[in-house]
Homo-oligomer: A and B are copies of this chain.
């Protein structure tokens, strides 16, 4: 990841290079960090799935029901449920067990890495919790300003 600094004002170039070095140290050779987070936890259901599975082993149908109950709105569709769990399994975060008979019995549980990722998700959620009041007041202040203050930006 060698960064092209042409077109960037010379005083900023060291900062850019340092940033690139830092990102490289963080393991971003192959894709930018902007993609890491969305790719793992950035979708609608994955973080909630991790939190639920962190409680133990779940049967498919029960998991689906619980996700629907815990979500603020909406249920997870059957198609997406399978898709998300398949991705988690492929990444090594979830272990899937199934019987070959009809009807099949499918259950899921986290692997150690999966539990570790669930911890990260929980940490991020706690961060939001810890800063919720601050964020909310920033929002209302911002919106109030925009209302009384119709100057161009």
**A interface vs B, CB < 8 Å?**
3-5, 7-9, 12, 15-16, 18-20, 22-23, 26-28, 30-38, 40-48, 51-52, 55-56, 58-59, 62, 65-66, 69-72, 89-92, 98, 100, 113, 116-117, 120-132, 134-135, 137-139, 142-143, 151, 153
Contact = CB atoms under 8 A, between A and B. Distances in A.
Q: Report the copy number of this chain in the oligomer.
A: 2
Contact of A51 (B19, B31, B100): B19
B138 A27 contact: no
Given A33-B121, A116-B131, 5 more contacts: A28-B129, A38-B41, A38-B42, A40-B128, A120-B124
Contacts of A38: 38, 41-44, 47
A44 to B, nearest CB: 6
Contact of A125 (B9, B37, B132, B143): B37
A103 to B, nearest CB: 13
Contacts of A16: 66, 69-70
B120 A18 contact: no
A121 B32 CA distance: 13
A122 B26 contact: yes
Nearest to A143: B90
Contacts of A117: 127, 131
Contacts of A62: 8-9, 12
B92 A138 contact: yes
